[in-house]
Structure 1
Amino acid sequence: MDIAEILGEWLAGHPPQITDYEKLLAQEKQYPKQALGLGCDLSVAGISVRATEFLAIAPAIIQLCESMKFTDQDAILRTLWELWLPLAMQLRRARQQQDQPLIQGILGGQGTGKTTISRVLREILATWNYPCIAISIDDLYKTYAERQKLLETQPRLIWRGPPGTHDVDTGLEVLTQLQRANLDDKIAVPRFDKSLHNGQGDRLPSEEVDPAEIILFEGWFVGCRPVEPEVFKNAPAPINTSEDRQFAQEMNEALQDYLPLWEKLDRLIVLYPEDYRLSKEWRKDAEHNMIAKGKTGMSDAEIDDFVDYFWRSLHPELFITPLTQNPDWTDLVIEIDAEHRPCKIYRPKTSE
């Protein structure tokens, strides 16, 4: 039996057997980098402990995934066993090893699954009495009025998203409050509605939240660091013109303002497409689905312009690929294949 069949048998009421543990352990040992990255206990005893956790949480996770329109139960069971549950256990251990709430950064673009992984982790951690909240860097956008004012001095910031369009000071204040909160505190967390002002978006009233043990701070360039200006001399497309290079350099300089936010992170996960160009195809798929349902969506040409704008501001090859190779900045890399599935999980290599 494969992994999903073994797990399905357990959920059907057949108690785990030692032979099940041995098969699962043998499978895990085939991917030592993944096991190391997730901190898995490669022993029969470790598999047994995870099995107990799995049986307790699996029904709730299956229900959650169904609410998100995921219907492949075998894939859900495998991903829960191989990634979501070990990752949640790793975060729990990390929280236990420090004296304040854990701030876990999650970098991921369109289609990489950062919303899914955030929701699943929150569900699992809550069952262990580790309350967890998610904050997106999108929640830190400057107000509509502030961004309109910004266009007067930076006319190339035509869409929200790149460095310079966020209120970094508010982000620092909120993360600090969450780190230092007392049990009976309420923390005002900013929230943003992208649908306001014809899709330009605007800040909503803050959400009052209870203190949390673990904070998931996610976004498309969370953790990205400035690079040496020389890289823009031979930058990849669509950084093609002198104006493109100037814009890229300005965004690179603006990243300096975000470094204090990244310093708040205790850990960083990078959700990394095996080919960064997949994000453009995934965006087109999403827009096609919206249009098919009778909703408003962008044309393929508009999507090309939109995604190219973000690649000109912070090109994945220049800003995200280095994160996947630097153990000082990144704790875990989860590569995503063309079907949006995790295909490789590893820690960045330590420099020789």
Structure 2
Amino acid sequence: MRSPIFNSVYSVVNEFCQTKLKIPPEQVSQRLEAIWLPIAMQIAEKRQKCQHPWIQGILGGQGTGKTTLCHILKLILESLDYHTETLSLDDLYKTYQDRLALQYQDPRLIWRGPPGTHDIDLGLSAIAQIRQGASSVEIPRFDKSAHQGAGDRTVPQVREKVDILLFEGWFVGVRPIDETAFAHPPSPIITEGDRQFARDMNRKLYDYLPLWQQLDSLIVLYPTDYRLSLEWRKQAEQEMIATGKSGMTDSQIDDFVNYFWRALHPELFIKSLIARTELVDLVVKIQPDRSLTIDS
């Protein structure tokens, strides 16, 4: 016998999954019951107890489904009458001009995304508005299509008072680690230049700590093997190309994913983070077949 809450949210979640994700209805039911609804109920319960806007961090690498999870949690939480908004770490990128200047200073920053490419004060300002219970909140947004795909900041979205903010990103909540870890790092951190880049990115994480301190809770989406994200990214690109859209080749994807592994390697940064139970409230393990299990 399923709960009344399950029955009340199933139709809206299933509609989203059918139209956007093409997930079979039986899989929607299973994931809603075992994963999505329990997580949403935990967040709702914590929000109710704390009596102030709740900032929920969601950490997940490429292909882990963090954006999808945010969409579904938002649907459920709004069905429970919580004004819920999403914010991506991507929404906090520095402007196009600022990133050009940054790349001139450090030519290693060939992609947007690594530590140092975000406007941390922009994130702190948005969260402060939410914390203060402002009746009107400006949520930063980023247009990835601007400047031929280089991307730029766009007009913020104005939202009514926010009860719950779902703040997701590929290194949301990630802490700096001891630099001795870079003495014998995993591949693709191979050359001394790679090791120096990893050390520099690690140091940049200290700048993000004020932002992470705003999190009331952190959920980590954790593939049982970090290399799965490379496989999933290739599958996604192949599916996109099959529909007639442009996409990266396997070789380009290898270069792209390896770049971010050199910056913040999952084996070094994520594995050490989930061991710190004072920082991580929930770990959702992702199997090679993309099935999910919750470790709390």
- Aligned AA for 2:271? T
Looking at structure 2, the residues matched to 82 and 274 of structure 1 have their Cα atoms a distance apart, in angstroms, of 18
Q: Is 1:345 matched with 2:265?
A: no
TM-superposed deviation, 1:86: 1.3
Which of residues 19, 43, 46 in structure 2 aligns to 1:91? 43
- Aligned AA for 1:301? S
Q: Is 1:172 matched with 2:124?
A: yes
TM-superposed deviation, 1:71: 3.5
Q: What do residues 289-313 of structure 1 show as CA deviations (whole Å, max 9, x unaligned)?
A: 1211221111111111110000000
| Number of the residue aligned with 1:70 | 22
Q: Is 1:283 matched with 2:283?
A: no
For 1:142-291, list aligned pairs within 5 A: 142-182=94-134, 185-291=135-241
Q: Do 1:270 and 1:323's aligned partners in 2 also have CA atoms closer than 8 Å? A: no
| Poorly superposed stretches of 4+, deviation over 3 Å | none
**Alignment partner of 1:217: what SS?**
strand
| Number of the residue aligned with 2:11 | 59
| Number of aligned residue pairs | 296
Looking at structure 2, the residues matched to 266 and 54 of structure 1 have their Cα atoms a distance apart, in angstroms, of 25
Q: What do residues 319-338 of structure 1 show as CA deviations (whole Å, max 9, x unaligned)?
A: 11112211011000001112
Q: Do 1:334 and 1:346's aligned partners in 2 also have CA atoms closer than 8 Å? A: yes
Normalising to structure 1: TM-score of the pair?
Answer: 0.82
- Aligned AA for 1:340? R
Change (3 A) 1:236 1:71: closer
Larger gyration radius, structure 1 or structure 2: 1
TM-superposed deviation, 1:181: 2.0
TM-superposed deviation, 1:235: 0.6
TM-superposed deviation, 1:69: 3.1
Which of residues 60, 66, 69 in structure 2 aligns to 1:117? 69
**Alignment partner of 2:171: what SS?**
coil
Q: What do residues 262-310 of structure 1 show as CA deviations (whole Å, max 9, x unaligned)?
A: 0000000000111100111111111111211221111111111110000
- Calculate the aligned-residue CA RMSD, in Å: 1.1
Change (3 A) 1:71 1:251: closer
Looking at structure 2, the residues matched to 160 and 341 of structure 1 have their Cα atoms a distance apart, in angstroms, of 30
TM-superposed deviation, 1:176: 1.0
Normalising to structure 2: TM-score of the pair?
Answer: 0.97
TM-superposed deviation, 1:83: 1.2
Tell which deviates more after alignment, 284-293 or 305-314.
284-293
Looking at structure 2, the residues matched to 297 and 63 of structure 1 have their Cα atoms a distance apart, in angstroms, of 27
Q: Is 1:108 matched with 2:72?
A: no
TM-superposed deviation, 1:212: 1.2
| Number of the residue aligned with 2:34 | 82
| Number of the residue aligned with 1:37 | none
**Alignment partner of 1:169: what SS?**
helix
TM-superposed deviation, 1:174: 0.6
TM-superposed deviation, 1:231: 0.6
TM-superposed deviation, 1:214: 0.6
Looking at structure 1, the residues matched to 214 and 79 of structure 2 have their Cα atoms a distance apart, in angstroms, of 26
- Aligned AA for 2:57? G
Structure number with greater CO (CA < 8 Å, separation at least 6) is 2
Q: Do 1:113 and 1:340's aligned partners in 2 also have CA atoms closer than 8 Å? A: no
Looking at structure 2, the residues matched to 331 and 96 of structure 1 have their Cα atoms a distance apart, in angstroms, of 17
Looking at structure 1, the residues matched to 256 and 69 of structure 2 have their Cα atoms a distance apart, in angstroms, of 25
Identity rate, percent: 50
